[in-house]
Structure 1
Amino acid sequence: MSTAVPQTGGTRAPGRRLPRRSTLLLAASVLAGMLLLLWGVDRLARWGAEAVLADRIAAETGVRTTPEVEIDSRFVLLQMLRGRYEDVEVGLEGIASGPLRIERLDAELTGVRLSFHDLLYRNPVPIYVESTRERATLRYEDLNTYLELTGRPVRIENASDGEVQLTGSVQIFGQEVSASAQAGLTAEDGRILVQPTELQTGTALDGASRLLLQQRFGFAVPVDSLPFGQRITAIEPQESTVEIEARGDGVLVNP
């Protein structure tokens, strides 16, 4: 009788791959856990940095409502450790500096520098911003309040063709003269210049009186309450507001 010899080259017994599969599943689980942990740490870093920036901006501007601050990046932890945030969006409401109030301001900040140590311990140090772009909304109602508080007997409202309408009564050589005027808006040294282009009045005036009337209707509005803009780049009158665009370089946000 012949004895059968066991075959050694056949199929592997079931279950031989299980240890390898278990290892892969374990590795995948560990990787997923690490990614989830990093995501959670990054979210905490984002919330912490945004909260500190909001506090600093609120202290700088004196707004009563908490500023809206959003770091525009998926990964914040590395930026925090580096002490430089690439892009930060800020929204503010109700900025007041002296008699002038700004209704709304939206800003884009690039290169916001705050060291990890100062952020962690909330050290009261200035925050340096490499460059800024902002858009401010100024209501005619607030402009008229400013004019009243500064003793200017003129009111301002929207007109057409990118200009505003001025109305009021002023003293000209001891005579009260009521008039209205179309006026253009320009920027100069951080101020809005309101310059009449066409006067209308029912009072007969000589050349000197008309020139003085035009000067009385012209004025400047300082907008140094803009927290991030050093240069006004555009002014656009609209139906109920004046929209102002500004830019800045090397801006400091003080504690």
Structure 2
Amino acid sequence: MSERAGTDPRSPRRPSRRTVGIALGVLLGTVLLLWGSDLLARRAAEGVVAQALQERTGTVEEPSVKVRGLFFLPQVLRGRYDEVEIAMEGVVSGPLRIDAVDARLEDVYLSFHDLLLGDTDRLLVVDTEAEVFLSYEDLNRYLELTGRPLALEAADPGELRVIGAVEVLGATVEASADVALGADGGSLVVEPTRFGGVRGLSGVSELLLGQRFTFRVPLDPLPFAQEITGVEATDSGVVVDVTGDWVVIEP
């Protein structure tokens, strides 16, 4: 039989439409399977981290946790997560309540074994940064519960005032003071800079009054607040920036 003109018998056949459809279906199925596995693993890791933080900090509502990264399964297999974003409200420890916390954790170690169990007794975080909001209401409650007859209030924009009646040399002195915000390690420090409403203070009386109006607020409820790097007074509360490194979170 003669060959058709222009036809090369050695040229490969083109794949049929059915073959192409099957190949595309397999490829799509593989992509969807990987995407679904990635999503499930991501949600599982977020749940374990949220549970550990809730047990450690005592929040009523479970923290919001977002694990970042385009490809997640490699992070799961190595047990280290590049970046985790945290949002918490109502963190309470003893007399102090922290209104809100927004944190970014880098290099969070969570073993694959703990992820499969859905529980962990230890999280290791290499680096942390967080913004903490302390409302004046919560700070005044802290002062009341710790036996300090003082109250904080906003003064001029960006400034803070403390008012109260304290004992100085056997007499009750009512005073107000402009205060400066500072930090000592993981504690917020409030110190008076200028008193008002008090006349005839001697050097000793002013020194004692300054001591009465000075106080510290340890940020113990936060496991990753090792050092305060910034403090700012607002109309409704105090914003504190904190950092930490090689933090161990144990529920």
Among 57, 60, 68, the alignment partner of 1:72 is 68
| Structure-2 separation of matches of 1:22 and 1:10 | 27
| Structure-2 separation of matches of 1:230 and 1:123 | 25
Residue 7 of structure 1, CA deviation: 6.4
Among 4, 8, 15, the alignment partner of 2:4 is 8
8 Å contact from structure 1 (residues 72, 87) kept in 2:
yes
* Identity within the alignment, %: 46
Among 23, 37, 44, the alignment partner of 2:33 is 37
8 Å contact from structure 1 (residues 177, 203) kept in 2:
no
Match of 1:94 in 2: 90
2:138 partner letter = D
C-alpha RMSD over aligned residues: 2.0
| Structure-2 separation of matches of 1:40 and 1:219 | 52
| Structure-2 separation of matches of 1:202 and 1:77 | 65
Match of 2:238 in 1: 242
1:164 aligns with 2:160: yes
Aligned residues: 248
Match of 1:26 in 2: 22
Residue 109 of structure 1, CA deviation: 0.6
Q: Superposed, which structure 2 residues align to 1:116-127 within 5 Å?
A: 116-122=112-118, 124-127=120-123
| Structure-2 separation of matches of 1:73 and 1:124 | 22
1:218 partner letter = T
Residue 202 of structure 1, CA deviation: 3.9
Structure 2: give runs of 5+ residues left out of the alignment. none
Q: What do the CA deviations read for 1:65-123 (whole angstroms, capped 9, x no partner)?
A: 01100101222222111111111001111011110100000110100111111211245
Structure 1 stretch displaced more, 234-243 or 165-174: 165-174
Structure 1: give runs of 5+ residues left out of the alignment. none
| Structure-2 separation of matches of 1:37 and 1:185 | 53
8 Å contact from structure 2 (residues 157, 234) kept in 1:
no
Q: What do the CA deviations read for 1:154-188 (whole angstroms, capped 9, x no partner)?
A: 11112236431011111222221111110000000
CA distance 1:17–1:137, shift in 2 (3 Å): same
8 Å contact from structure 1 (residues 162, 184) kept in 2:
no
Q: Superposed, which structure 2 residues align to 1:201-212 within 5 Å?
A: 201-212=197-208
Greater C-alpha Rg: 1
Residue 141 of structure 1, CA deviation: 0.4
TM-score by length of 2: 0.92
> SS where residue 60 of structure 2 aligns?
coil
Residue 213 of structure 1, CA deviation: 1.4
